[in-house]
Amino acid sequence: MTSQEIQSLTNQYIMNTYGRFPVTIDHGEGATLYTPEGTRYIDFTSGIGVSDLGYGCAPWADAIAVQAKKVGHTSNLFYTEPPARLAEILCRRTGMSCVFFANGGGEANEGLIKLARKYSFDKYGQGRAAVITLNNSFHGRTITTLKATGQEVFHNYFFPFTEGFRYANANDLDSLEAAAGDDVCAVLVELVQGEGGVLPLDPAYVRALAKLCAERDWLLLADEVQTGVGRTGSLFAFQQYGVVPDAVSFAKGIAGGMPMSGILAGEKCRDVLGPGTHATTFGANPVCAAAGLVVQETLTEEFLAAVREKGAYLRERIEALDLPCFGKTRGMGLMIGIEVRGGCSNKEIANKLIEHGLLVLTAGPGMRLLPPLVITKEEMDQGLAIMKAALA
């Protein structure tokens, strides 16, 4: 089918919930994507932080094929090897105690919220169920995680929302105190706010927050759906902040493009969700877990160091272009935000870059770049050349 035919069919038969760019993807290699007609794009999006190994990665595709031929799904009533091995690696590399596997980021965050409420219920009884989240956060699209999201625009249409969420300003302990109370059981944060505009939390604030949570027996919950799995240059962002959350959610990059998510729980929380309290049919799918194992094999310490170097290189070169519409950059590793200035709109900039052959994302009022972690210097330079040609 041609690009145009695929777009028409999609627009007719897939529910119109996404604002799509007029680009049809057929295949890719590394950080480069092609349309059915062979038009080439440098990809600074990874399918929103998912395809960390890029496209056409042979070991990843082979691991999926091998596991699919053995057994594609069994349910969690039985045991399979790939999720057990993946959970072991994640725990060993983070110091966490155990994993619950799910399918998407919002669902993983629902798990974190259930974990926090049950932890508190078991210890203190009812009435201590409030979760504090941060303004400008994003935690998902379910009825509960929409309400956990600290942006008013998301609290619309779908009433009634789940009760028990209060919001504080990022990097502001006074604001956190104002949201505190006897009814609080947890604080849920993104260490780098992703959808909100690539806004890293201040390390001193995160350390003070961890201390406060420990003193009051509030669970510290990290939503690492976007920041996790090497994106920020460490396996999880919390490892660069020098704090250990009680539980952490992950999703996007965990299986390099296969749908998988989950939560990592520390020792204190390992037995909170017992048999019958939490489950999902597709969770811990062995094909997805086999893909996740290839991601873990790829993300060595040297690889993560290279992610930090690539991120620093891209930010330095973008700022050196000194484009009229781009201000300062920010972020961690290959999670990069660019401030938009000079009265430009981030949507217009994204459209212009895509017309010139560079796929990019927006976040908050600015631009967001989440290239595949395997992106090469040549691909980064080609992307930078497109930025210069399109925006100078």
**Contact positions toward ligand PLP, by CB under 6 A?**
104-106, 109, 138-140, 190, 194-195, 223, 225-226, 251
Please report how close the Cβ of residue 145 comes to ligand PLP at its closest, in angstroms.
7
At a CB cut-off of 8 Å and minimum separation 6, what does 24 contact?
3, 6, 7, 35, 36
Alpha-carbon span 367 to 357, nearest angstrom: 16
Strand partners, 131: 165, 186
Chain position whose Cβ is nearest to ligand PLP: 105
Please report how close the Cβ of residue 268 comes to ligand PLP at its closest, in angstroms.
23
- Asked whether 360 and 353 are in contact (CB, 8 A), the reply is yes
Nearest residue to 254 via CA among 285, 221, 279, 230: 230
Alpha-carbon span 391 to 378, nearest angstrom: 20
Nearer to ligand PLP among residue 32 and residue 240 (C-beta): 240
Please report how close the Cβ of residue 273 comes to ligand PLP at its closest, in angstroms.
19
Please report how close the Cβ of residue 196 comes to ligand PLP at its closest, in angstroms.
9
Assigned token pair, 103:
């399918």
Alpha-carbon span 314 to 384, nearest angstrom: 8
Please report how close the Cβ of residue 226 comes to ligand PLP at its closest, in angstroms.
3
Please report how close the Cβ of residue 122 comes to ligand PLP at its closest, in angstroms.
26
CA separation, residue 143 to residues 76, 165, 224, 272 (Å)? 26, 12, 20, 23
Nearer to ligand PLP among residue 190 and residue 246 (C-beta): 190
Nearer to ligand PLP among residue 249 and residue 329 (C-beta): 249
Please report how close the Cβ of residue 260 comes to ligand PLP at its closest, in angstroms.
10
**For the purposes of burial, counting CB atoms within 10 Å of the CB of 172, is it exposed (0-12), middle (13-18) or buried (19 or more)?**
middle
Please report how close the Cβ of residue 324 comes to ligand PLP at its closest, in angstroms.
30
Please report how close the Cβ of residue 215 comes to ligand PLP at its closest, in angstroms.
26
Nearer to ligand PLP among residue 126 and residue 156 (C-beta): 156
**For the purposes of burial, counting CB atoms within 10 Å of the CB of 160, is it exposed (0-12), middle (13-18) or buried (19 or more)?**
exposed
Angle in degrees, CA 295, 261, 301, rounded to 5: 30
Residue identified by tokens 């349309």 is 35
Please report how close the Cβ of residue 189 comes to ligand PLP at its closest, in angstroms.
10
Alpha-carbon span 10 to 227, nearest angstrom: 31
102 phi, psi to nearest 5 deg = -130, -155
- Asked whether 83 and 75 are in contact (CB, 8 A), the reply is no
**For the purposes of burial, counting CB atoms within 10 Å of the CB of 244, is it exposed (0-12), middle (13-18) or buried (19 or more)?**
middle
Alpha-carbon span 237 to 227, nearest angstrom: 6
Nearer to ligand PLP among residue 50 and residue 358 (C-beta): 50
**Cβ atoms within 10 A of the Cβ of 36, count?**
15
